[in-house]
Amino acid sequence: MTTHAPHATHTVTLPGSLDEAVAALAAMPAAVPVAGGTDLMAAVNSGLLRPAALVGLGRISEIRGWQYQDGHALLGAGLTHARMGRPDFAALIPALAAAARAAGPPQIRNAGTLGGNIASAAPTGDALPVLAALEASLVIAGPAGHREIPVGRLLAGIELLHPGELIGYVRVPLLHAPQTFLKATGRTGPGRATASVAVVLDPARRMVRCAVGAVAPMPLRPYDAEHWVASLIDWDGERTLAPEALTAFGDYVAAACIPDPVPTPEGGEPGTLPPAVLHLRRTVATLARRALGRALA
């Protein structure tokens, strides 16, 4: 369906399937996809973006739910935060549900989608550290068919969405083990993250996976801290850690993501971190300690 608003050059196309959406983008290379519009329309309203045409993804029912596939959940990119926050989804992927429940006020959660959160790739995107910790991958639909890329490669800018491509699905391993997401904001009530931490236990591979959001342009994975703490856990036993170990894990994660300043090239003393950065580091340490503690509780 195509509508032409009077007195406007904009064309809005509302395809009913992913293939139709890809075809619409191929037919109108200047068109921009829009899902919930919570990021895109804010940019349009503030004059930052003037798309010549829009391809709305809201009527594509195939990407608004999820299905099971080979031990994975194949999540439609059109899943809203509100839908992911519901109990049936939380039973499946608890950390992603927790992130969805923390993403903005209800109006935003009702409209904003998983695919839009990933494509916007804002440092404060709440789904992003969770997807990084889960080592999720993206099924991309485009004129040349489908391809799959790890989410971390897109967020790091190693892989890009080519013109005319859409995020169709997000493939997430179902780990059947505790996972947590915690977020700090600069205000009470809904707000963007100043720091966030996702922790995922993977008992089958005896791994702890952790990702820190909002402190860098992309989620950061403190691999050494993950390996160290996984080696302390009795995976066949009670899977508990002493409080000192949890604290050390938090400090390890925080120092890895917000390192000390390096010495100057002239061999001078390294400077100290500014107070605001030290505060952020302490916040990350606290979030990581609590997130792992809750996952192991």
Ligand X SMILES: Cc1cc2nc3c(=O)[nH]c(=O)nc-3n(C[C@H](O)[C@H](O)[C@H](O)COP(=O)(O)OP(=O)(O)OC[C@H]3O[C@@H](n4cnc5c(N)ncnc54)[C@H](O)[C@@H]3O)c2cc1C
Site for ligand X contains 96 (CB under 6 A) = no
Site map 68..87 versus ligand X, x via CB under 6 A: ---------x----------
Candidates 37-45, 148-156, 204-212, 221-229 — which segment interacts with ligand X by CB under 6 A?
A: 37-45
Site for ligand X contains 35 (CB under 6 A) = yes
Can you point out the beta strands (E) in the chain?
Answer: 2-4, 11-13, 31-34, 53-56, 66-69, 72-76, 137-142, 145-150, 166-173, 179-185, 193-202, 207-213
Site for ligand X contains 100 (CB under 6 A) = no
State how far the Cα of 94 lies from the Cα of 84, in Å rounded to an integer: 9
Beta-bridged to residue 80, according to DSSP, are 113
- DSSP run (H or E) holding 281: helix 275-296
Location of structure tokens 């003393």:
269
Site for ligand X contains 34 (CB under 6 A) = yes
Question: Which one-letter DSSP state was computed for residue 113?
Answer: B
Nearer Cβ to ligand X (101/221)? 101
Candidates 106-114, 142-150, 229-237, 276-284 — which segment interacts with ligand X by CB under 6 A?
A: 106-114
* Main-chain dihedrals φ then ψ at residue 116, nearest 5 degrees: -65, -40
Applying CB under 6 A, among 85, 116, 129, 164 the residue interacting with ligand X is 116
Q: Is residue 76 a contact partner of residue 62, using CB atoms and an 8 Å limit?
A: yes
Site map 166..205 versus ligand X, x via CB under 6 A: xx------------------------x-------------
Applying CB under 6 A, among 39, 135, 202, 251 the residue interacting with ligand X is 39
Which tokens in the block code for residue 126? 């709440």
Residues that bind ligand X (CB under 6 A): 32-40, 42, 57, 77, 103-104, 108, 111-113, 115-117, 119-120, 124-126, 166-167, 192
